Structure formats: C-alpha cells, structure tokens
C-alpha cells in the first residue's frame, strides 16, 4: 500500500487525502494548528463563482469552469457518506450597476464572458428588485450568473474531515512539519517536533505557507494576500443570490447569518482585522443595500489567500522526486478543492502530471 503524507489540512489537503484514500492509499494528514479552519479555508465566504478571478479567456478560466463542474458530485458524496449538510445552494450571483461607469464595466464583462461560453445575462432594475427586494434603489442594470453557487466552507471542512477519517485516513492536528526529509534527489518523508514520518509520496498543501522549508534546493513562491470579512445577524434572509459589487460581495450564508467582504492587502502574514478594512466593507454594503444601516457586525476577521506570482495555482510534482505541491489557489480554494483533490490524487497515483494542466506545473518557478 502506498504511503502518502499530506502537509496542511485545509480544504485542498483534505480533498486530496480523501481522493487518495478512495484509490487505496494509506494517507496521513499533518496540520500545524490544533483545530481545522484556522487559515484560508475557514476564513472564506464560500462563494462558487463561475469565472473565478479570470479577467479573460485562458488557463485560469478553463480550470475554474472544469473545477466547478465537480462540485455537486462531491457535495452529494460527502453528505451521503457523513450525513452532514454543507449548505450547498445554487442561487446565482448578481452584480448591479448604479452608475454609467459601472454599467459600462458590466457591458465589457458581459461581452467577453458571453464569447467565452459563460452563462451570463443582463437583468432590468425591475427584475432585480423583484428577485432581491433588499437591493438599494437607483440601479441601472445588473449582471446575473445563474450557475454561481455557495457553500458553507466551515461545514465543508467538517464533512471532508469526517469522510477522510471515516475511510481510515489519519488526521494529526497540532503537528507542525519542520522540514522535508530527503535522500539524494528524493523526498522520503517529513520531520515534525514529535519525530520523523516516512512516506512514498509527500504533498505540500500549505497554501500561503507552502514555502516554509527554506532548506529545499528551490523556492516555492506562494505569498499571503490578506482579506477581511464581516458577519451580520439577520432576522430573515436579506439576499437569495450572492450580491457582488466590484471586489466586494455579500453572501447570505444561512437564514440568520450574512457574510460581507472583502479587502486585498499584501502585508505578510498579518491576520489582524483593521478599522480601515471594516470601513471598506461597510462602504460596499451601503452601495448594495440600506437594510443594514446602523447594524453592528457580529464578527470581523481576516484570512490569508495563497497567491502565486502569475495568478495561477501550483499543481503537480516538484524537482525533488516524491514531493508534490497543490497550493496558490488565491480566491478559488473552496471552489476548486474537489477538483484539485481529484486531479492531484490521479497524478500522484499515476506518478506523473495530468494532461491538460501544464500551465499549473510548479516547475515554471522552480530550478533546482
């Protein structure tokens, strides 16, 4: 039986481990934090956006579209196996335009996305107000993405963890990996404070922290991008769809919880929420709705998105034999977890990168 060690128990690590268990591997998952959800996977809002961060056609858009198609099947499998409800809901996404400048920007988005085959259409102000009465009046038009969906990422983490351990995977929380063990040009395991763990294959799923081992003969160039979020208690659901406003958004996570975000800052590994971030998120909400005027948020936190220099994830083998990486998903980690897990499991099992994922191979940055 193949022994695989995965470093990092966020959604990417858990999904990869769960997929490898289904193939018959023996998987040990090591997480430095004493609880799940302490990094980006727990901090997110759970948006499943049909174009991700893509600004036009290209590898990122194709990756996101393929990945989103795996999500419903993964939800069904996890919920059937664990009995947990991850609150997956395909409610669509709306981005309203309140000015001529915003309307022109939406026209450009509609033009390229329609040409790329994305389902997107314009809605009249009357249709938006009929569907979303809480949206502020004065909008000119809005874009509507019917394939957009959402999930409670915290519950998804719980479901993946339960499925992983239920299939015999070993999850070790509070176990920080200090460095990778090597023999010649091959990785043979990892060293933790509790001792060495040997493995046939090791997968680095540490997100923004993926470059933690400075002793490797190459750099892993992921970096943290801070994003702040607020949560509000609502007496009843304020929105049915995801509401987007430029870089900001509002997601009705449950009947009584609304999540709003976000900011984007390159400030290292600082996760401290700020008053400036709070004001920016409130400015987004004020453009979208007047229903939260005077409401104080119940929660305010920040997460660190794992970014790469070219905006694409790192998926595949490294120059060291036996060491793989799945990191750098930026804003798309929740949405791409099921697909990444499946693709990484297939690649590790086959011992080679999968066809069609050349644009994401880590060796584009690594020279040993």
Torsion over CA of 157, 69, 84 and 169, rounded to 10 degrees?
-50
pTM of the model: 0.97
Question: What's the pLDDT score for residue 23?
Answer: 97
311-327 pLDDT, tens digit each: 999 999 999 999 999 99
* 121 shares its domain with 167: no
Q: Is residue 88 part of a domain?
A: no
The torsion region of residue 234 among left (phi > 0), alpha (psi -120 to 50) and beta comes to beta
> At residue 356, does pLDDT exceed 90?
no
* 68 shares its domain with 193: yes
- Structure tokens, 352: 């080679």
CATH number for the domain spanning 103: value is 3.30.9.10
Question: What's the pLDDT score for residue 37?
Answer: 97
* pLDDT > 90 fraction of the chain, expressed in percent and rounded: 94
User: What average pLDDT does the chain have?
Assistant: 96
Mean pLDDT of 90-110: 96
* 21 shares its domain with 47: yes
Q: How many domains does the chain have?
A: 2
Sign of the dihedral through C-alpha 21, 205, 4, 171:
negative
> At residue 368, does pLDDT exceed 60?
no
Q: Please state the φ and ψ torsions of residue 332, each to the nearest 5 degrees.
A: -105, 10
| 60: containing domain | 3-82+153-222+309-364
Question: What's the pLDDT score for residue 321?
Answer: 97
> At residue 214, does pLDDT exceed 90?
yes
pLDDT grade for 246, boundaries at 50, 70 and 90 = confident
* 254 shares its domain with 316: no
* 258 shares its domain with 317: no
* 118 shares its domain with 190: no
Burial 8-36 (b: 16+ CB within 10 A, else e): bbbbbbbbbbbbbbeeebbbbbbbbbeeb
pLDDT grade for 367, boundaries at 50, 70 and 90 = low
Question: What's the pLDDT score for residue 74?
Answer: 98
120-165 pLDDT, tens digit each: 999 999 999 999 999 999 999 999 999 999 999 999 999 999 999 9
Mean pLDDT of 48-61: 92
pLDDT grade for 201, boundaries at 50, 70 and 90 = very high
Question: What's the pLDDT score for residue 294?
Answer: 85
């Amino acid at each position: 039986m193949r022994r695989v060690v995965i470093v990092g128990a966020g959604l990417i690590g858990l999904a990869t481990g769960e997929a490898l268990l289904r193939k018959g591997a023996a998987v040990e998952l090591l997480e430095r934090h004493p609880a799940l959800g302490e990094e980006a996977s727990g901090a997110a809002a759970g948006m499943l956006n049909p174009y991700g961060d893509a600004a036009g056609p290209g590898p990122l858009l194709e990756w996101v579209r393929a990945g989103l198609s795996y999500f419903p099947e993964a939800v069904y499998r996890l919920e059937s196996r664990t009995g947990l409800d991850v609150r997956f809901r395909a409610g669509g996404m709306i981005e309203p335009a309140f000015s001529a400048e915003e309307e022109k920007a939406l026209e450009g988005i509609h033009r390229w996305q329609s040409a790329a085959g994305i389902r997107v259409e314009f809605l009249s102000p009357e249709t938006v107000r009929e569907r979303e009465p809480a949206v502020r009046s004065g909008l000119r038009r809005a874009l509507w993405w019917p394939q957009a969906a959402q999930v409670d990422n915290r519950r998804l983490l719980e479901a993946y963890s339960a499925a992983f351990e239920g299939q015999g995977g070993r999850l070790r929380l509070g176990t920080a990996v200090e460095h990778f063990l090597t023999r010649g040009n091959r990785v043979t395991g990892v060293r933790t404070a509790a001792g060495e763990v040997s493995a046939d294959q090791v997968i680095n799923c540490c997100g923004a922290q993926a470059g933690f081992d400075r002793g490797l003969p190459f750099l892993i160039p992921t970096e943290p991008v801070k994003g702040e979020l607020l949560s509000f208690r609502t007496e009843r659901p304020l929105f049915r769809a995801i509401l987007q406003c430029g870089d900001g958004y509002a997601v009705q996570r449950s009947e009584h919880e609304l999540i709003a975000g976000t900011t984007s800052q390159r400030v290292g590994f600082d996760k401290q929420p700020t008053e400036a971030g709070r004001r920016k998120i409130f400015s987004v909400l004020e453009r979208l709705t007047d229903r939260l005027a005077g409401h104080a948020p119940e929660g305010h936190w920040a997460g660190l998105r794992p970014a790469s220099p070219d905006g694409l994830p790192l998926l595949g083998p490294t120059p060291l034999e036996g060491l793989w990486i799945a990191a750098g998903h930026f804003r798309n980690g929740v949405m791409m977890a099921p697909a990444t897990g499946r693709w990484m499991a297939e690649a590790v099992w086959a011992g080679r990168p999968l066809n069609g994922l050349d644009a994401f191979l880590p060796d584009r940055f690594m020279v040993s």
